Amino acid sequence: MVAKGLDFREGDNVVITKRGVPRQPLPVGGPAAAGGGTHRGEQQPDGRVYAEDVAEAITDRTRVVAISHVQYASGYRIDLRPIADMVHKAGGYLCVDAIQSLGACRWTWQAMRIDFLSADGHKWLLGPEGCGFFYCKEDHIPMLHPNVVGWMNMNLAAITAVPV
């Protein structure tokens, strides 16, 4: 939603971790198409991710830091607040994959200053596979452009019925 939904400008980049979830780099097509590409923050051999290592990859052209709250292979939980502070200072946004932490850890995305968050329900939320959700700070909603349009994300009241 975020990578395909934001308007990336030439030279914008996205920061991810070097050994995060294997699918993480796949949706980052927007900045690559804009010429900025993907910057990778360091990850320790044991799976730890330090906020300082992610900060080193953030530039004044960083549009999004996309990171997992809890690393899938090691279980390491990163402190997101310093990363949010750094990317917001650079004018960017924090996008968090919370599939490994929602339902397992006590925390709030408001306290962490997260802009966008997604999670599937099949892990600690004990829901069915493929049933998840996406959170977006309310003031960011106008920035996103849906990459898939269906009848559930349209204003049906604005559509005029066609006589048959």
132 close to 108: Cβ distance less than 8 angstroms? no
* 0.85 surpassed by pTM: no
- Assign domain 2-158 to a CATH class: alpha beta
Residue whose entry in the numeric block shows the structure tokens 């690393």? 71
pLDDT tens per residue, range 75-118: 888 889 999 999 999 999 999 998 888 888 887 777 789 999 98
Listed in sequence order, the residues at least 6 apart from 23 whose beta carbon sits closer than 8 Å to its beta carbon are none
Residue ranges per domain, the chain? 2-158
Q: How many CB atoms lie within 10 A of CB 71?
A: 23
Residue 124 vs residue 96, higher pLDDT: 96
